[in-house]
Amino acid sequence: MSPERTRTVTWNDPALTAAAAQGRTGLAFLGAILEGIAPPAPIQAILGFELVAAEDGVARFRLVPGEHHLNPMAGVHGGVACTLLDSAMSSAVMTTLDENTGYVTADIMVHLTRPITTKTGPITAEGRVVHRGNRVATAEGRLTDVEGRVLAHATTTCVLVERTVRSS
């Protein structure tokens, strides 16, 4: 057996992230994360992915798969792909929201189409809004490698809700 690996992860207090969203539209909030003004969500630190772009109706996240993402079959766990796609699609919805509206993911459907390994290299999840109503929004997402090959694709439904101040 090979020696154990260690991974140390540091993240910001989630209350700081939630506070940074107050008074900002969804797009402005994501812009603050991109500019380093607001801290990213803790899940980004835990899995090691970053927001790389946000514009009206679109959001992108990037991850370089590592051994800490692997399942017992030496592939990146499907939950990692699902988390990236959920983040991209729901953030795409977030870009359309005013400073008083939030969202919750109601459902997500993910199709894994190619294996992802540590040799895949950087992968990008892009989410795009398909429909934005008053109470429900839908989005689609694609997870691709640097050559543009689709590794997974997904759809989601988000329920739009009044934002509430959350504490940790």
Question: Which pLDDT tens digits describe the chain residue by residue (168 residues)?
Answer: 778 999 999 999 999 999 999 999 999 999 999 999 999 999 999 999 999 999 999 999 999 999 999 999 999 999 999 999 999 999 999 999 999 999 999 999 999 999 999 999 999 999 999 999 999 999 999 999 999 999 999 999 999 999 976 544
Structural domain of 134: 14-162
- Within-domain flag for 32: yes
What Rg do the C-alpha atoms of the chain give, in angstroms?
A: 16
- Within-domain flag for 149: yes
* Strand 58-63 relative to strand 136-145, pairing: unpaired
- Within-domain flag for 6: no
- What is the phi/psi pair of residue 35, to 5°? -85, -5
Cα dist. 30→44, 121, 145, 146, 153 in Å?
A: 13, 25, 23, 23, 22
Classify 123 as helix, strand or coil. strand
- The CATH number given to whatever domain includes residue 55 is 3.10.129.10
- What is the phi/psi pair of residue 167, to 5°? -120, 160
As for how many domains the chain has, the answer is 1
Return the amino acid letter for 52: V
